[in-house]
Every structure is written in C-alpha cells, then in structure tokens.
C-alpha cells in the first residue's frame, strides 16, 4: 500500500483546526490544513470574546503577539424591558488577562500563520466535499473537487454544520432546540467614543450580555462587545422559539439595536459587516462520537459550545478540544494505530480536561434556559423592584423585601414558578 500524502489532514482553519494542526506539526508530523474561505477567518463571523487562558498553553505570549482587540475588564448582564434596563455590571482588575475581544478575520489569520511557521501546509480556498474511506469504512483521506488527498488521520474541524461528521453518522442532526441562529454586525466607531461610552481606558474592553426584551422574549440573548475601533453587536436566538414566534432573526436584531439601552452605545456608528451563523446550544447533550477509524472531530463540529446564560463559549472549548485531539492523535501516530481504539485517547483527554468537566457542570443549562420566564417575566419584575426602591416620593417607604413581594404579586410570576426556577437555576448554572 502506498504511503499517505500526509500524516494528518485538518479540515477547517478556525481555532479548533488551526490549533490541532499547529500542535501536530510541532510534534514533527506532516500536516495539511484545508480551508474553504479564500483566507482563514474570511468565512467566520467576526467578533467575540475569547476566554484566553487555554490559548496561553499553546502560545504563552498570544495576548501580546496576536491581533486581539481589547482585554475585557468589564462584564455586564442586563435584563432589557420595554421601559428600561436592569442588571449587574462588574468592572474588576481581577478579570485582567482572562478574556479578550477578537475579530476573527484577523485572529484566525494569525493562528494560520503560526501553523505555516510550524510547517503546516495551508490550502485556503479549497472546500472539502467528502471523505475517502477504505472498504472497511475507515477514513483514509478527503475529496475536494477533482482532487483527492490521503492521510493517516483526518480531523473534522469544519464548524457547527460539520457535514463531515454528520456524513459519517457521528453526530445526529441536531434538534431545533439545540441550535440557535446568531445575527451579528460589526459597527465602526472612533476609539475615544467607545472609551467614553463604555467607561474604558487604553486597551480595556467590555462585554455586555442582555436578555429579555433584547430578543423580544425569544429564548436567547443579545451581546455588545468592544473592539479597538468597532463594536460587535448581535443576538443569538434559539431556533425552535424563533420559529414559534413567527419573527425573523433580522427583525429581532434590528429591534435589539434600536433599544435605547443598546442604541446609546451604537449611535453614529457605521456598519462594517453583517451576517448570521448557526450556534450549537445543546451542550453535553450534543456531543457525539468524537473519534472513529481514521477520523477525529473537534470544536463546533463536535458540538462543543456552552451557553451558561452569562457567557457564550465556543472558541476556548474549540482550542481545548484541539489540545486534547493533538495529544490523542500524536499517541495514535506514534503507536501506528489510527483506528478508533488507537484514537480513543482523544476522548479520554477531552473529558478529563476542562472541556469535558465544564460540559458536565453545565449539562442542565440548555434545558434550564428553555424556561420562557427567563426572557419574558423576570426583567420587568426586577425593574419594578428597583423602580419602587428608587422612586422616592412622600408615600411611606417599605422594606426591600416587602417591595420585592409587591412586585412579584403584581407580576405573572407565581411563587411556585419562582421557587421552581430558582431550584433549577441553582442546579443548572
């Protein structure tokens, strides 16, 4: 039998694919990285918060060397209502170095450059159509147009739709409540305007998450992240809820941007780009088979995202899975056994590391976040409590507990609902 063209062929130059390719090349293996976009990052919706501690394991100096936009020192979670906004706003030096905003066109390109430096053969502008398999069903390479390329191991890092993993039946078609659609724009503003509006200095950044009226009561949320001279603004909407609402995702996005609590940050800005993309929301329940004969699945392709209600995480899990995959594949190549059994070390590393542990911790979060009161009722109740507390006139005052009780009694939220949501929330988030 002839020698394969490469030890490893990685499909998709997002964070998962780039880090897998980089680490395997560092181990001395021959690696090809195939990306359908004309350049890495070109097909990826720009903007997001990268929880960067895991990337430091691969590139200890990435915060200084990579094109990160701002370091996040301010996190806020806000319930939007039809008349206002109420939330928790945290600014802390203790967040320093934890998270950075990134624009993917620049960030993915930087990762891909590191890959090339490490000896990875990068093939941009090539879409992989299908996998090559042996008569026994083992994956032996890939097909792109008229070209075939063979490899000892193929890595499916082709994102949330992963036709490669789905084609092999490794991941069932996700249910509608396991998927969300993200609609997002990047809005240009002068640096000083961003600093003033968000209360930031220098390279400080902010990540604001918003729920409730942010999505018109549809399961999901809105976000607003600061880049150096632009804002990433968008909504993430659960597909089943969106379909039931009859609204279009772009209308919900437009309404979000027009809410006074969002508009005050956006006004005067110019839209640089706009797009939509699917987001996996099923957490542990979406994780399929991650290794089979000759193939491993990493990042979004394996369904690795966590929505904890406070944060949307995918890039750090993609990188964590890449580190686990590179370890497992390296061991399999060294042992000369790239069968499912030989590659099983990947899943073990994945589940033993922070990715598997966090997926397990938040396993109940997707079901909890399906409760409609989160998006519809609690914002107005909280706003009511705060308005009653701050709206001082000459009527006699009540203690805060009585104020909260009054607000609850006049809301659609029953005490049993509240108790049930609190109990479920404590166990899920």
Ligand X SMILES: Cc1cc2nc3c(=O)[nH]c(=O)nc-3n(C[C@H](O)[C@H](O)[C@H](O)COP(=O)(O)OP(=O)(O)OC[C@H]3O[C@@H](n4cnc5c(N)ncnc54)[C@H](O)[C@@H]3O)c2cc1C
Contacts to ligand X by CB under 6 A: 11-17, 34-37, 43-45, 48-50, 127-128, 157-159, 182, 184, 234, 236, 277, 279, 299-301, 305, 312-316, 318
| Closest-CA residue to 54 (of 81, 91, 27, 16) | 16
CB of 392 to ligand X, least distance (A): 39
Is the Cβ of residue 16 or residue 211 nearer to ligand X in the bound state? 16
CB of 273 to ligand X, least distance (A): 12
CB of 346 to ligand X, least distance (A): 15
Count, in order, helices (H) and strands (E) of the chain.
Answer: 17, 19
- 264-271 — which CB contacts under 8 Å span 24+ positions? 264/197, 265/197, 265/198, 265/224, 265/231, 266/187, 266/189, 266/231, 266/233, 268/189, 268/193, 269/187, 269/188, 269/189, 269/230, 269/231, 270/187, 270/188, 271/185, 271/186, 271/187, 271/188
What is the DSSP code (8-state) at residue 248? Answer: -
How far, in Å, are 20, 45, 192, 214, 322 from residue 277 at the CA level?
23, 7, 30, 18, 22
- Give CA–CA dist 320/63, Å, rounded: 17
CB of 413 to ligand X, least distance (A): 29
Is the Cβ of residue 63 or residue 424 nearer to ligand X in the bound state? 63
Tokens of residue 338, six digits: 């790239």
Which residue minimizes CB distance to ligand X? 314
- The answer to whether 25 and 119 are in contact (CB under 8 A) is yes
Is the Cβ of residue 200 or residue 381 nearer to ligand X in the bound state? 200
Is the Cβ of residue 150 or residue 339 nearer to ligand X in the bound state? 150
CB of 251 to ligand X, least distance (A): 17
Is the Cβ of residue 316 or residue 377 nearer to ligand X in the bound state? 316
CB of 259 to ligand X, least distance (A): 18
Is the Cβ of residue 20 or residue 411 nearer to ligand X in the bound state? 20
Is the Cβ of residue 84 or residue 366 nearer to ligand X in the bound state? 366
Distance of CA 37 to the CA centre of its chain: 20
How far, in Å, are 134, 184, 223 from residue 256 at the CA level?
51, 11, 9
CB of 62 to ligand X, least distance (A): 14
């Amino acid at each position: 039998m002839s020698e394969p063209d490469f030890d490893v062929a990685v499909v998709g130059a997002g964070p998962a694919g780039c880090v897998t390719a980089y680490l395997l090349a560092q181990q001395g293996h021959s690696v090809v990285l195939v990306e359908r976009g004309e350049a890495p990052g070109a097909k990826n919706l720009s903007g997001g918060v990268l929880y960067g501690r895991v990337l430091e394991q691969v590139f200890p100096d990435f915060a200084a060397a990579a094109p990160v936009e701002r370091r996040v020192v301010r996190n806020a979670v806000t319930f939007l209502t039809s008349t206002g906004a109420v939330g928790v706003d945290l600014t802390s030096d203790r967040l320093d170095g934890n998270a950075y905003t990134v624009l993917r066109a620049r960030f993915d390109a930087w990762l891909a450059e590191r890959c090339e430096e490490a000896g990875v053969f990068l093939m941009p502008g090539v879409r992989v159509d299908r996998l090559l398999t042996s008569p026994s069903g083992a994956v032996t390479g890939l097909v792109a147009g008229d070209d075939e390329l063979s490899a000892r191991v193929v890595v499916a890092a082709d994102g949330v739709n992963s036709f490669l993993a789905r084609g092999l039946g490794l991941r069932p078609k996700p249910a509608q409540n396991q998927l969300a659609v993200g609609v997002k724009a990047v809005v240009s503003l002068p640096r000083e305007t961003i600093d003033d509006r968000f209360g930031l200095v220098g390279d400080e950044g902010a990540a604001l998450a918003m729920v409730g009226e942010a999505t018109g009561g549809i399961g999901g949320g809105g976000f607003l992240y600061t880049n150096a001279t632009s804002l990433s603004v968008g909504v993430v909407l659960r597909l089943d809820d969106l379909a039931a609402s009859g609204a279009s995702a772009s209308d919900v996005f437009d309404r979000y941007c027009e809410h006074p609590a969002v508009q005050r940050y956006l006004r005067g800005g110019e839209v640089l780009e706009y797009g939509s993309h699917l987001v996996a929301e099923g957490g542990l329940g979406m994780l399929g088979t991650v290794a089979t004969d000759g193939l491993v699945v990493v990042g979004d392709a394996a369904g690795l995202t966590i929505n904890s209600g406070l944060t949307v995480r995918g890039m750090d899990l993609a990188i964590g899975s890449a580190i686990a995959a590179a370890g497992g594949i390296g061991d399999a190549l060294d042992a000369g056994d790239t069968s499912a059994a030989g590659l099983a070390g990947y899943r073990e590393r994945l589940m033993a590391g922070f990715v598997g542990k966090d997926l397990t911790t938040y396993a109940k979060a997707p079901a909890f976040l399906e409760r409609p009161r989160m998006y519809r009722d609690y914002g107005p109740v909280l706003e009511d409590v705060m308005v009653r507390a701050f709206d001082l006139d000459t009527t006699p005052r009540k203690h805060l507990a009585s104020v909260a009780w009054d607000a609850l009694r006049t809301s659609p939220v029953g005490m049993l609902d509240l108790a049930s949501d609190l109990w479920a929330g404590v166990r899920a988030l």
